[in-house]
Chains A and B, each alone.
Chain A
Amino acid sequence: MTSVALLAALPLVITDIYYQHVLVICLVYVVLGQAWNLVGGYAGQWSLGHAAFFGLGAYTSTLLLLRLNVTPWLGMVAGGLTAAAVACVIAFPCFRLRTHYFAMATLAIGETLRVLFLAFDWTGGASGLVLPVQRIPSSVDMLWASKLPYFYVILTMAVVVTLLIAQVERSRVGIYLRAINQDEDAAARLGIEPRRYKLLALAGSAFVTGVTGTFYAQYTTYIDPFSVMPSMLSVRIVLVPVFGGLGTGAGPIIGAFTLIPLSELTRVTWGGRGIGIDQVVYGAIIVWLTIWMPGGVMALVRRRRGVSGPRRRDPVATPEAGVTAT
């Protein structure tokens, strides 16, 4: 609670537009990381095609705004639903595949979608789409000159999504997803239908990713297949929870607030020389951090606390709580 309040107050202290921009991007990756974690971290289905969901969200709301003048606030939901619908279609063949093969299939589908959007005329093709910037500022059109409104929108999204995922983790579905992740056949034997729950996780994840795509389009006011659908984006999304801690609520937050500033830092320091040295340094630092803390930051925290981590207290197991449980 206090950390959210502190975060909300941060842009009042940080008035530099560049740092505000970094904050917004960090929060975008918190949301994307949480969403990916649901299907990748908890359910163990490594999607490498999440950029497609992001791009679908961005294109859906932008096309609705440009062609039909639908407010992005509704377009956001439409974008999420489009991404979720496409996820359901993708899931049909892809969930027949497991582990690496699932990852490869999603990577291929993501790339295919990007190439399609490059070829389509009605999506602007390679020249992309420009949002109606002449209307700035307009809250109905989710277009502002200042970064502050964007910051509060994405902060709200980050908080809501984090709380939602935490709720799913605590619920029965959380147990089912982790069970499927560890042994799909053993889960099916217990009556858990693996495909049903994997589909639920993927669709939910795609919805949130699509909504974030809409936000990003509104924030940057220009989209093309290279900016909202590159496979590098899929990789960056995966990196966030993997770095912070797979299948943990805190993982994507830690991951986003470490990796994004780090990538910005290397870009500012070594970028702009045209030889990609910033990417090399960024990659090297990630490799070093991963060797130092395999399993992510949360695994390191757990190891420091004790060999097998904190014991989960069960309310019914303790007699005094058992009385109040009824």
Chain B
Amino acid sequence: MSLLEVNDVTKSFGGVTALARVSVSVEAGEIVGLIGPNGSGKTTLFHCIAGALAPDSGDIRFEGRSLVGLAPAAICSRGVGRTFQLARVFPTLTALDNVLAGQSHRGERMLGAMLRGSAAAVRRRAHELLTLVGLDALAGEPAGELSYGQQRLLELAAVLMGDPRVILLDEPTAGVNPVLVERLLVALREINGRGVTIILIEHNMEAVTSLSGRMYALAMGRTIAEGTPQQVRDDPAVLEAYFGTGRLGSRR
């Protein structure tokens, strides 16, 4: 049984079919890349998995149980973390509090959360994650004062605080300067090494092919290729989706 199974998911917005019977299956421990031209349905797929959108049909199973119909918070508690296409942090909260906001809610009692502050062990873990993404020196800064690239890293640390089994990263390197991209790739490999499965949408071909063990290519809401990064990159259908065939009049 795969860790995450997306079976025949379809999602339409009015007359636009964003996803047409898309199936994706991810094994535990993998890093899976998701590529495709803009508007091919990648982010919509993430929205459906994370519960921000409900699929029109099809099923999404995580650890064998369906996620369809669950609220985003509940899906997060099951162990599915996600980052957004544009980093979303809490600007007036400190970097540390941003990470603490992501602490695991599994088995949490509301009364306990109200009366106690965060236990020393929890805070230490938050600092550990900030160190992992290279932000521990900025723990006391309001998140709104960090650079955009740093906010992306902070968002990642906050998501990891919830002990996810799988994380969905929507263009993690977009808008991040090259030095921080390196830092991010190192952090992602380290996270994966700790047993966290990663699915990432990425336009940075170099980054996604170096990280991923397997890739899917989407175009117009359909899966057009699947396989190793090399296979997918060289697939004629993928090349056509990105560049066209080069022959005039051949486009459907």
Q: Identify the A interface with B (CB < 8 A).
A: 167-168, 170-173, 175-176, 178-179, 182-183, 185-194, 196, 200, 308, 311-317, 325-326
Query: Is the Cβ of A185 less than 8 Å from the Cβ of B127?
Result: no
Q: Which of B99-107, B194-202, B238-246 contacts A (4 or more CB under 8 A)?
A: B99-107
Q: How many angstroms between the C-alpha atoms of A171 and B101 in the bound complex?
A: 11
Partner of B72, one of A176, A185, A196, A315: A185
Chain A residues within 8 Å of B5, by CB: none
Asked whether B71 is an interface residue with its Cβ less than 8 Å from the other chain, the reply is: yes
Shortest distance between the CB of B136 and any CB in chain A (Å): 8
Please name all residues of chain A whose beta carbon is closer than 8 Å to the beta carbon of B101 when the two chains form the complex.
Answer: 175-176, 179, 187, 190, 192
With A179-B90, A316-B123 as contacts: A192 and B115 at CB distance below 8 Å: no
Which of A189, A193, A194 is packed against the most chain B CB atoms within 10 Å? A189
CA separation between A200 and B81, bound complex, in Å? 25
A188 pairs with B73, CB closer than 8 A: yes
| Assembled-state Cα–Cα distance A270/B94 (Å) | 47
Q: Which residues of A contact B84 (CB under 8 A)?
A: 186, 189
The 8 residue pairs across chains A and B that have the minimum distance between CB atoms: A191-B76, A186-B88, A191-B105, A188-B72, A190-B102, A193-B73, A325-B120, A182-B90
B96 interface hit (Cβ, 8 Å): yes
Query: Which of A172, A175, A182, A192 has a CB less than 8 Å from the CB of B73?
Result: A192
Cβ 8 A contact of B140, one of A167, A173, A192, A314: A314
Task: Say whether B140 contacts A188, CB under 8 Å.
Answer: no
Q: Are A316 and B120 in contact (CB under 8 A)?
A: yes
Quick check: is B116 within 8 A (CB to CB) of the other chain?
yes
On chain A, the residues within 8 Å of B82 by CB distance are: 189
Once the chains are docked, how many angstroms separate the CA of A189 from the CA of B49?
Answer: 12
Distance in Å: Cβ of A205 to nearest Cβ of chain B:
14
B52, B102, B123, B145: which contacts A191 (Cβ < 8 A)? Answer: B102
Number of A-B contacts (CB under 8 A): 113
- What's the minimum C-beta distance from A243 to chain B, rounded to whole angstroms? 19
**Measured between C-beta atoms, what is the minimum distance from A272 to chain B in Å?**
44
Contacts of B76 in A (CB 8 A): 188-191
Contact between B93 and A179, CB atoms less than 8 A apart = yes
Check B110–A200 contact: CB distance below 8 A.
yes
CB distance from A84 to the nearest CB of B (A): 15
Q: Would you call B232 an interface residue if the criterion is a C-beta within 8 Å of the partner chain's C-beta atoms?
A: no
Query: How many Å lie between the Cα of A168 and that of B116 in the bound state?
Result: 9
Interchain residue pairs with CB less than 8 A apart (5)? A171-B115, A171-B117, A172-B117, A182-B93, A317-B127
Contact A173 B90 (CB under 8 A): no
Q: Which of B93, B96, B113 contacts A172 (CB 8 A)?
A: B113
Interface-central residue, A167, A173, A186, A315, by most chain B CB under 10 Å? A186
A186 to B84 alpha-carbon distance, docked (Å): 8
A172 to B162 Cα, complex, angstroms: 14
In the complex, what distance in Å separates the CA atom of A182 from the CA atom of B92? 8
Shortest Cβ distance from residue A304 to the other chain B in the assembled complex, whole angstroms: 18
The smallest C-beta distance from A264 to any residue of chain B, in angstroms, reads: 34
Residues 113 to 133 of chain B near chain A (Cβ within 8 Å):
113-118, 120, 123-124, 127
List residues of chain B with CB within 8 A of the CB of A167.
115
| CB proximity of B19 to chain A, nearest CB, Å | 20
Tell me whether B50 is interfacial, beta carbon within 8 Å. Answer: yes
Q: A175-B100, A189-B82, A317-B127 provided; 7 other pairs, C-beta below 8 A?
A: A172-B114, A176-B101, A186-B90, A188-B71, A189-B73, A193-B74, A325-B120
